[in-house]
């Protein structure tokens, strides 16, 4: 019984982790149809911002929930202004440029902080379940991920900005004709996506520690989740995370984490073979 | 006639270098240059599949790495290196056919294709780093996890595992293989099939309406690039004497892409020259420890993509003869919806 609860927890945790690391990427992809290859490095920078702020005496929660997203949003704004904006419409070129940015950021952080792991200790202690125990912080992570996903859904469907964003996403020319500044919408979306990635990195920092190459551990899963989700902004990647997460969790539990990750990729490739524009094409009609 | 002479210039230069190099260069330089040309061979594979066929394969390193591992395992098991090199070519080809079936027969867009291929190589990286346990072994060869396979025998005379080739001979073989790969791909590009592949790059829809099965041509081109990359990987392992999971990692994948962008998408000479240039640069930087290579390479990728999107070779050609139109380059390519 206890082990069953733990297994269920692992499944939920895995879905939440996938959702957390892909949300920022999904926002940018859904909007601009561009995979931000520097996504992993935005996560990494969020982690570093948290750890550095905390070491400088800022309260841990404050540095996780405020400092890190704001710092990465700033980086995202600079990257958008200098690189991404100049390449709008050139999907492949944008991807390559963000890949260059990704390497550049890894190199810069390595040059400044060195190739060593830094960390903060996970707060909140453990909750015992029979013979096992689970980290309360992980419960907190699941909760905050759910909160993030729900609030982005609400923001997209219930606010004026969400309406404008969806209009620009659906038909940018028509939106521009109606007086919407699409470049600005794209810029804001990119910055919001960066901020969410930064927050994800901040939340992961207590669990995994931070080092310059930490992004690589997450990007493959985030990329796969987002593209097998397809075009629908939030529901797409969420459904992909719900399909892929349990598979990864169960196979990681019964085999090894690497088998879990490999099967996640394999499943995504099979999904794309059957539904080439992602899971969400089932209800958006392949758009 | 002049055009044929011009085309032959580059492979002839390589062959001359292969013949004369051992007499002028130090053994240390010979080993370095052998490794560089093994890498350049793999870069040619990407230059072909991306530049000629328009397949955005960001995970080209997976074929390079598979070739490297296949050679290491085969040569340690069999002893004979000729067969091992062939296995190093066959493994990536087999894998590319399976992967290509899923990718091309689902008609994925560029963005999806690039991401999936990159993820494949990252997964291989995680898998290979997790094989430290001695239970992961093929024959007597442990996969070795993060340390990889060490003490891999170098090239030997065909059929005689004890007769190891000298540094000079290995150097010549590597450069001759590079010239061979260049000639093979050039012929393939100017053959009928190659022209259809170029047509597919320019417009998939139009080629398909003309009756060509674009999925088939893409699969074949993908397999050819995998074979070339596998040859590069096998030679690289033979020269270096070890292989580690780093052949699959992100910096490795980005290097191939960087060389092709810098050399010029659609060109062959440019990527080879660029690969030699950047490898020299990175070995210098690595020796000096002033800047780390990722910083430099990242900045270089950004600069090339934004300022010289067509790459060096087309740019230089364009400067020397103004009638040469800007035919190549990433910006030139039609965008497909993702």
Domain boundaries, chain B: 32-249
| Predicted confidence (pLDDT) at residue B293 exceeds the cutoff of 60 | yes
Tokens at A77, concatenated = 């704004």
Mean pLDDT of chain A: 83
Dist. CA B62–CA B118, nearest whole Å: 8
**Which residues of chain A have a CB within 8 Å of the CB of B127?**
258, 262
Mean pLDDT of chain B: 83
Per-residue confidence (pLDDT) for residue B136, from 0 to 100: 77
Per-residue confidence (pLDDT) for residue A141, from 0 to 100: 86
Quick one: average pLDDT of A203-222?
Answer: 83
Task: Name the nearest CA neighbour of A201 among A99, A107, A73, A64.
Answer: A64
Per-residue confidence (pLDDT) for residue A73, from 0 to 100: 93
| Predicted confidence (pLDDT) at residue B216 exceeds the cutoff of 70 | yes
The better pLDDT of the pair B92, B308 is held by B92
| Predicted confidence (pLDDT) at residue B90 exceeds the cutoff of 90 | yes
| Predicted confidence (pLDDT) at residue B238 exceeds the cutoff of 80 | yes
**Taking the model in full, what pTM does it have?**
0.84
- Whether residues B294 and A110 touch (CB distance < 8 A) is answered with yes
Per-residue confidence (pLDDT) for residue A286, from 0 to 100: 47
Tokens at B266, concatenated = 């659609």
The better pLDDT of the pair B156, B248 is held by B248
**Which residues of chain B have a CB within 8 Å of the CB of A89?**
335
Report the percent of chain A where pLDDT is more than 70.
97
**Beta carbons within 10 angstroms of residue B229's beta carbon:** 35
**Beta carbons within 10 angstroms of residue B335's beta carbon:** 15
**Which residues of chain A have a CB within 8 Å of the CB of B61?**
none
Phi and psi of A135, rounded to 5°?
-70, 130
| Predicted confidence (pLDDT) at residue B330 exceeds the cutoff of 70 | no
Q: What is the pLDDT of residues A114-160, one digit of tens each?
A: 777 777 777 776 777 666 777 788 888 888 999 998 998 888 888 88
Per-residue confidence (pLDDT) for residue B287, from 0 to 100: 63
Tokens at B145, concatenated = 């996890």
**Beta carbons within 10 angstroms of residue A63's beta carbon:** 23
User: Nearest CA of chain A to the CA of B311: how many Å?
Assistant: 13
pLDDT-based confidence at residue A195 (cuts at 50, 70, 90): very high
Per-residue confidence (pLDDT) for residue B16, from 0 to 100: 84
| Predicted confidence (pLDDT) at residue A81 exceeds the cutoff of 60 | yes
Could you give the count of Cα atoms lying within 13 Å of A29 in the half-sphere of its Cβ?
34
String of b and e for B273-303 (b: at least 16 CB within 10 Å)? bbbbebbeebeebeeeeeebbbbbbbbbbbe
List, as ranges, residues 167-206 from B with C-beta within 8 Å of A: none
In chain A, domain spans: 41-116+126-213, 215-278
pLDDT-based confidence at residue B337 (cuts at 50, 70, 90): very low
Dist. CA B256–CA B260, nearest whole Å: 6
**Which residues of chain B have a CB within 8 Å of the CB of A107?**
291-298
Q: Which residue of B has its CA nearest to A103?
A: B298
Average the pLDDT over each of A274-278, B63-67, B80-84 and give the range with the smallest value: A274-278
Highest mean pLDDT among A140-149, B4-13, B259-268, B298-307: A140-149
- Whether residues A97 and B120 touch (CB distance < 8 A) is answered with no
**Which residues of chain A have a CB within 8 Å of the CB of B254?**
99, 103
Q: What is the pLDDT of residues A241-257, one digit of tens each?
A: 888 888 888 887 787 77
Quick one: average pLDDT of B182-195?
Answer: 90
Highest mean pLDDT among A31-45, A151-165, A207-221, B212-226: B212-226
Alpha helices in chain B (DSSP H): 2-24, 27-46, 61-78, 81-105, 110-129, 167-190, 192-202, 204-209, 214-240, 250-263, 269-288, 293-307, 312-320
Is residue A164 within 8 A of residue A185, CB to CB? The reply is yes
Average the pLDDT over each of A156-165, B25-34, B313-322 and give the range with the smallest value: B313-322
Dist. CA B46–CA B49, nearest whole Å: 5
String of b and e for A130-139 (b: at least 16 CB within 10 Å)? eeeebbebbb
User: Nearest CA of chain A to the CA of B79: how many Å?
Assistant: 31
Task: Name the nearest CA neighbour of B261 among B210, B226, B313, B193.
Answer: B313
Average the pLDDT over each of A77-81, A121-125, B206-210 and give the range with the smallest value: A121-125
Quick one: average pLDDT of B242-267?
Answer: 86
- Whether residues B111 and A35 touch (CB distance < 8 A) is answered with yes
- Whether residues A90 and B306 touch (CB distance < 8 A) is answered with no
Quick one: average pLDDT of B4-20?
Answer: 79
Quick one: average pLDDT of B150-173?
Answer: 79
- Tell me the three state secondary structure of residue B252: helix
Average the pLDDT over each of A143-157, A211-225, A271-285, B213-227 and give the range with the smallest value: A271-285
């Amino acid at each position: 019984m206890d082990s069953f609860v733990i297994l269920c927890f692992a499944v939920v945790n895995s879905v939440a982790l996938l959702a957390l690391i892909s949300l920022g990427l999904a926002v940018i992809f859904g909007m601009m149809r561009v995979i931000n290859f520097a996504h992993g490095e935005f996560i990494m920078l969020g982690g570093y911002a948290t750890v550095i702020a905390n070491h400088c005496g800022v309260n841990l929660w404050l540095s996780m929930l405020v400092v890190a997203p704001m710092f990465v949003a700033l980086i995202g704004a600079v990257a958008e202004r200098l690189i991404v904006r100049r390449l709008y419409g050139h999907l492949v070129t944008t991807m390559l440029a963000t890949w260059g940015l990704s390497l550049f950021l890894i190199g810069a952080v390595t040059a400044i902080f060195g190739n060593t792991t830094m960390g903060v200790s996970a707060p909140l202690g453990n909750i015992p379940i029979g013979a096992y125990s689970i980290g309360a912080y992980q419960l907190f992570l699941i909760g905050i991920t759910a909160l993030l996903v729900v609030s982005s859904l609400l923001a997209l469907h219930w606010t004026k900005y969400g309406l404008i964003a969806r209009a620009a996403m659906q038909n940018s020319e028509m939106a521009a004709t109606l007086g919407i500044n699409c470049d600005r919408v794209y810029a804001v979306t990119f910055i919001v996506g960066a901020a969410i990635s930064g927050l994800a990195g901040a939340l992961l920092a207590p669990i995994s520690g931070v080092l310059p190459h930490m992004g690589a551990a997450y990007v493959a899963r985030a990329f796969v989740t987002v593209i097998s989700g397809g075009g629908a902004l939030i529901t797409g990647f969420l459904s992909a995370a719900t399909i892929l997460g349990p598979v990864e969790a169960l196979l990681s539990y019964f085999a090894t984490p690497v088998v879990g990750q490999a099967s996640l990729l394999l499943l995504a490739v099979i999904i794309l073979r059957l539904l080439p524009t992602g899971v969400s094409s089932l209800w958006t009609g392949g758009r | 006639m002049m055009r044929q002479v011009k085309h032959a210039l580059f492979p002839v230069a390589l062959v001359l270098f292969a013949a004369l190099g051992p007499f002028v260069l130090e053994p240390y330089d010979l080993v370095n240059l052998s490794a560089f040309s093994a890498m350049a061979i793999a870069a040619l594979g990407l230059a072909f599949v991306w530049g000629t066929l328009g397949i955005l394969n960001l995970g080209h390193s997976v074929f390079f790495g598979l070739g490297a591992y296949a050679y290491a395992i085969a040569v340690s098991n069999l002893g004979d290196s000729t067969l091992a090199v062939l296995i190093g070519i066959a493994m990536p080809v087999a894998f590319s056919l399976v992967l290509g079936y899923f990718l091309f027969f689902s008609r994925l867009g560029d963005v999806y294709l690039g991401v999936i291929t990159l993820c494949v190589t990252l997964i291989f990286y995680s898998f290979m780093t997790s094989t430290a346990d001695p239970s992961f072994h093929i024959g007597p060869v442990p996969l070795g996890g993060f340390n990889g396979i060490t003490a891999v025998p170098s090239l030997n005379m065909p059929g005689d595992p004890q007769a190891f080739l000298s540094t000079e001979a290995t150097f010549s073989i590597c450069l001759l293989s590079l010239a061979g790969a260049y000639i093979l791909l050039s012929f393939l590009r100017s053959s009928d099939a190659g022209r259809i592949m170029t047509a597919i790059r320019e417009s998939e829809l139009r080629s398909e309406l003309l009756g060509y099965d674009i999925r088939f041509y893409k699969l074949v081109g993908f397999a050819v690039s995998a074979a070339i990359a596998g040859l590069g990987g096998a030679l690289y392992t033979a020269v270096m004497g070890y292989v580690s999971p780093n052949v699959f990692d992100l910096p490795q994948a980005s290097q191939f892409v960087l060389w092709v962008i810098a050399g010029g998408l659609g060109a062959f000479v440019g990527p080879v020259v660029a690969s030699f240039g950047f490898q020299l640069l990175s070995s210098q930087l690595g020796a000096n420890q002033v800047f780390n290579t990722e910083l430099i390479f990242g900045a270089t990728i950004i600069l090339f993509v934004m300022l010289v999107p067509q790459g060096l070779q087309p740019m230089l050609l364009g400067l020397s003869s103004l009638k040469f139109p800007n035919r190549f380059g990433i910006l030139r390519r039609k965008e497909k919806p993702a």
